[in-house]
Amino acid sequence: MNNTSGGHLETWAVTAGRTDDHNALAPVLWASTAYTTDTVDQGRQLAAGPGAARFYSRYGNPTVRNFEEAVAALEGAPTARAFASGMGAISAVVLGLCGKGSHIVAQNRMYAGTTLLLQTVCPRFGIDVTFVDATVPGALTAAVRPGETTLVLTETPANPRLDIVDLDELGAIEGPFTVVDSTFATPLGQQPLTHGVDLVVHSATKAMAGHNDATLGVVAGATDRLDWLWSFAVLQGANASPYDALNGLHELAARQMKVTGGLLTIDLHGGLEAGTRFVEGTRLALLVTSLGGPETLVTHPASTTHVGLDPDQLDAAGIGPGTVRISVGLEHPDDLAADSLQALA
């Protein structure tokens, strides 16, 4: 699931990451560490192939997978992989893609944990690192050694002095993998993948989760690159907790929006048939008997919230067979308008 099919980021922040929730409105916590398999062959496929969400928690988890899908959608990426922390994500990128004899070009001013990983751990594994001032035009490109450089690693805006790296220049580098730590910007601030960058990393502990109650890291990018990192992550073991993944789902949109949702009640010409066809015809707005959540909800009161009233009572309450209640959520208004218009049509 990704946002390349259209729509706005505000909408994707609310709607993405719901694949494994069935018909539950709130994100579901899958706390199990292991899952049964029906056959030996099924177990073999889950153990050997990337992306298994129902096998063993080190391989994946349905709640964690929903968080990964939400981040991938916001970044415009085909897929993502969550980790137990931002450093878990950075370590997987560096050690999963590089080995003895590899060369890394890295920004000289970034988060201290990343710098220490490059300065102290990489030399022990025979990985050579060249640090450059990435704010200088052409510095990253000039430091690349053709045929030897495996990774170009940057952070923008950088911690703590907010250094800015030219993403177009980074994305144009051919040969090595290009990576951006985009923690400070969040996906609503920038999308490095749209500039040609290979992978984007977040410490989702920060603004993405936003409530100081989750420790998470995540990497988003192309499927072939993430499949390779997934295999390494299974061995690394820095898998994200489903509890933290649940806390990380959809908080970003709620904090970014400036107004709360509102209620609208409309009456459709055509009575019960028109009201039914409208609420069953919306694709973005969900048919749910509730109100006030981050999602836009539509309800047919005569059939649900006020189903116990007789016709006279319904009439006294101003509720007709074509009455529809809309609880407006946090999606982009243009997307909601388009959804309403197609349902009306």
How many other CB atoms sit within 10 Å of the CB of residue 166? 18
Q: Which residues are bridge partners to 327 per DSSP?
A: 263, 297
pLDDT digits (tens, 9 = 90+) for 132-184: 999 999 999 999 999 999 999 999 988 877 788 999 999 999 999 999 999 88
Percent of the chain having pLDDT more than 90?
Answer: 52
For residues 53 and 65, the answer to whether their CB atoms sit within 8 Å is yes
- For residues 323 and 274, what is the distance between their CA atoms, to the nearest angstrom? 9
Would you say residue 260 has pLDDT above 50? no
Helix 333-344 and helix 271-281, axial crossing angle in degrees, nearest 10: 140
Pairing of strands 323-327, 103-107: unpaired
CB distance 204 to 84 below 8 Å = no
pLDDT of residue 19: 77
pLDDT score, position 223: 93
Domains in the chain and their CATH numbers? 3-255 (3.40.640.10), 263-344 (3.90.1150.10)
Least Cα distance to 87 among 63, 111, 66 occurs for 111
The tens digit of pLDDT for each residue in 37-48 reads 889 888 888 888
- Answer yes or no: pTM beyond 0.85: no
Q: Is residue 296 over pLDDT 80?
A: yes
∠ at Cα 71 (131, 9), nearest 5°? 110
| pLDDT attached to residue 259 | 43
- Model confidence pLDDT, tens digit, residues 12-22: 777 787 777 77
59-107: pLDDT as tens digits: 989 999 999 999 999 999 999 999 999 999 999 999 999 999 999 999 9
The per-residue pLDDT for 23 is: 80
Contacts of 154 (CB under 8 A, 6+ apart): 106, 107, 110, 134, 140, 165, 170, 178, 179, 180, 181
pLDDT, tens digit (0-9, with 9 covering 90-100), for 236-249: 999 999 889 888 87
d(CA 158, CA 179): 13
Q: What is the pLDDT of residues 184-235, one digit of tens each?
A: 888 888 899 999 999 999 999 887 776 778 899 999 999 999 988 988 998 8
- pLDDT computed for residue 1 by the predictor: 42
Q: Write out pLDDT tens, residues 329-343.
A: 888 999 999 999 999
